[in-house]
């Protein structure tokens, strides 16, 4: 057993069910570290929502680690070099880290392994970011799954590891480490985060999950698309930063009433993570071609970003994103379809904008969902179109979701609110519809058919 270990937290910011932490705590001398990776954070102005959430998560993690006798060190810079410096300073023999298949994580762990070979320390990667580790499940041909349903069947049937307990309090053993430095805002943020952002951290995540599971899980299968009810769990950011263990969440909830439909969504998360881990280029390039979009980053794109398209449900979603750093899944699909099909603008532009604002912004989930909606991804029906008005009538029949986010329309009742006539729009100061949906989709279909056929 190594006498000195280092647990490097990345996007596993929790003490419950954390295999890397548990393994590190097998050593008599353990240090805990988080590195603010300059490559991800930059000056912080582009991703203020996620940084705010990360700050709160780190403060909470620091307190939880303190309660079990560990002090969380925070360093900033190049990730691998920063870890290697701490290894040297503390005479660490083994570094424990959560396995992460994203390109940036793979590269930095490779750089750390090179440093380990040079300096004589080892690195052990542990599961913890997904329910089933990427690469574990493969098709009959031994290749990663690119179709969800067969993946999901295997995923449900796979043997999941049991969730782990919080390590024992080691205060007595490590008393020599001295008093904890209180953290306030570990990462300075150069921009103002969204006003109604969820609070970060394992404690907040557990509280939110418990409250939601007690009251809403049972109705999840039928109610998750009811936009006015806002009935989904909203745990995506906690999962992204690892404040909650996806394995623990899935294990505890899957057999409860409503749990199967909920676990299926966690299956989607694992599906996209394993796909991106096997094909990192899918974060930027089409999985299957849909030809070259005719729209670009001009005024039409800006109107979509601001939520001024004149389609009430699209505008409500885009304004929810600005206000909360969050958007309901159904509305994400509607606004993404509107951008890529009605406006014929590339999914990459929309995905980048989402990544700037979403508190749960996650390359695997975001980019591969964008590809799914754009018809370049894993959807078995790539020609699917979301009609924004019909989606609004069906999933927000009373207009309550629209009223919540589009103040100009608060006095307009359903069904008029789904597509107000021009004089009503004018009277309340709401935008005209920026395109005719039927004509825009006809144009998109012709463009796509000729583009894609032209390439055959």
Residues of the shown chain interacting with ligand FAD in the complex, contacts defined by CB under 6 A? 224, 232-236, 239-240, 265-266, 268-269, 272, 329, 332-333, 336, 354, 358, 360-362, 365-366, 369-370, 373
Q: Which is nearer to ligand FAD, 272 or 401 (CB)?
A: 272
Q: Which is nearer to ligand FAD, 312 or 361 (CB)?
A: 361
Q: In angstroms, what is the minimal distance from the CB of 125 to ligand FAD?
A: 22
Q: Are the C-beta atoms of residues 72 and 34 closer than 8 Å to each other?
A: yes
Q: Which is nearer to ligand FAD, 22 or 239 (CB)?
A: 239
Q: In angstroms, what is the minimal distance from the CB of 317 to ligand FAD?
A: 10
Q: Which is nearer to ligand FAD, 81 or 278 (CB)?
A: 278
Q: Which is nearer to ligand FAD, 360 or 419 (CB)?
A: 360
Q: Which is nearer to ligand FAD, 33 or 331 (CB)?
A: 331
Q: Which is nearer to ligand FAD, 4 or 16 (CB)?
A: 16
Q: In angstroms, what is the minimal distance from the CB of 119 to ligand FAD?
A: 36
Q: In angstroms, what is the minimal distance from the CB of 231 to ligand FAD?
A: 9
Q: 450: how many CB neighbours lie within 10 A of its CB?
A: 11
Q: In angstroms, what is the minimal distance from the CB of 269 to ligand FAD?
A: 4
Q: Which is nearer to ligand FAD, 383 or 426 (CB)?
A: 383
Q: In angstroms, what is the minimal distance from the CB of 283 to ligand FAD?
A: 12
Q: Which is nearer to ligand FAD, 308 or 362 (CB)?
A: 362
Q: In angstroms, what is the minimal distance from the CB of 451 to ligand FAD?
A: 22
Q: In angstroms, what is the minimal distance from the CB of 382 to ligand FAD?
A: 14
Q: In angstroms, what is the minimal distance from the CB of 42 to ligand FAD?
A: 18
| Nearest by Cα to 200 from 241, 232, 154 | 241
3-state per-residue secondary structure call for the chain:
CCCEEEEEECCCCCCCCCHHHHHHCCCCEEEEEEEEEHHHHCCCCCCHHHHHHHHHHHHHHHHHHHHCCCCEEEEEECHHHHHHHHHHHHCCCEEEEECCCCHHHHHHHHHHHHHHHHHCCEEEEECCCCCCCCCCCCCCCCCCCCCHHHHHHHHHHCCCCCCCCCCCCCCCCCHHHCCCCCCCCCCCCCCCCCCCCCCCCHHHHHHHHHHHHHHCHHHHHHHCCCCCCCCCCCCHHHHHCCCCCHHHHHHHHCCCCCHHHHHHHHHHHHHHHHHHHHCHHHHCCCCCCCCCCCCCCCHHHHHHHHCCCCCHHHHHHHHHHHHHCCCCHHHHHHHHHHHHHHCCCCHHHHHHHHHHHCCCCCHHHHHHHHHHHHCCCCCCCCCCCCCHHHHHHHHCCCCHHHHHHCHHHCCCCCCHHHCCCHHHHHHHCCCCCCCCHHHHHHHHHHHHHHHHHHCC
């Amino acid at each position: 057993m190594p006498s000195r270990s280092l647990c490097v937290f990345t996007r596993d910011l929790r003490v419950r069910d954390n295999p890397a932490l548990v393994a590190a705590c097998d050593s008599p001398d353990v240090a805990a570290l988080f590195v603010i990776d300059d490559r991800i954070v930059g000056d912080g102005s582009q991703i203020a929502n996620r940084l705010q959430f990360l700050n709160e998560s780190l403060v909470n993690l620091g307190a939880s680690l303190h309660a079990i006798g560990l002090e969380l060190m925070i360093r900033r810079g190049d990730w691998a070099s920063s870890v290697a410096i701490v290894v040297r300073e503390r005479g660490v023999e083994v570094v424990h880290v959560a396995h992460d298949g994203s390109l940036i994580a793979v590269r930095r762990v490779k750089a750390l392994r090179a440093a380990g070979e040079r300096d004589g320390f080892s690195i052990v990667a542990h599961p913890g970011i997904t329910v089933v580790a990427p690469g574990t499940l493969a098709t009959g041909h031994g290749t990663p799954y690119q179709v969800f349903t067969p993946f999901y069947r295997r995923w449900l049937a796979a043997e999941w590891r049991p969730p782990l307990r919080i390590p024992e309090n080691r205060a007595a053993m490590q008393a020599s480490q001295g008093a904890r430095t209180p953290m306030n805002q570990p990462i300075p943020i150069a921009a103002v985060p969204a006003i109604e952002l969820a609070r970060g951290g394992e404690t907040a995540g557990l509280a939110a999950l418990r409250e939601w599971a007690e009251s809403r899980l049972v109705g999840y299968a039928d109610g998750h698309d009811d936009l006015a009810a806002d009935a989904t769990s909203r745990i995506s950011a906690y999962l992204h930063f690892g404040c909650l263990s996806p394995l623990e969440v899935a294990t505890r909830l899957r057999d409860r009433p409503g749990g199967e439909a909920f676990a299926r969504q966690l299956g989607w998360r694992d599906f996209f993570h394993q796909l991106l881990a096997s094909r990192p280029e899918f974060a930027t390039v089409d999985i299957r071609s849909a030809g070259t979009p005719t729209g670009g980053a001009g005024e039409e794109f800006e109107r979509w970003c601001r939520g001024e398209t004149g389609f009430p449900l699209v505008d409500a979603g885009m304004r929810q994103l600005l206000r909360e750093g969050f958007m309901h899944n159904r509305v994400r699909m509607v606004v993404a379809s509107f951008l890529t099909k009605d406006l014929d603008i590339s999914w990459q532009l929309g995905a980048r904008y989402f990544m700037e604002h979403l508190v749960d912004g996650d390359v695997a989930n975001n980019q591969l969902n964008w590809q799914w909606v754009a018809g370049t991804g894993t959807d078995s029906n790539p020609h699917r179109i979301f009609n924004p008005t019909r989606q609004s009538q069906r999933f927000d029949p009373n207009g309550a979701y629209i009223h919540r986010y589009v103040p100009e329309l608060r006095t307009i009742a359903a069904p008029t609110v789904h597509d107000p006539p021009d004089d009503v729009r004018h009277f309340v100061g709401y935008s005209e519809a920026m395109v005719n949906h039927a004509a825009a989709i006809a144009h998109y279909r012709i463009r796509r058919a000729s583009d894609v056929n032209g390439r055959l």
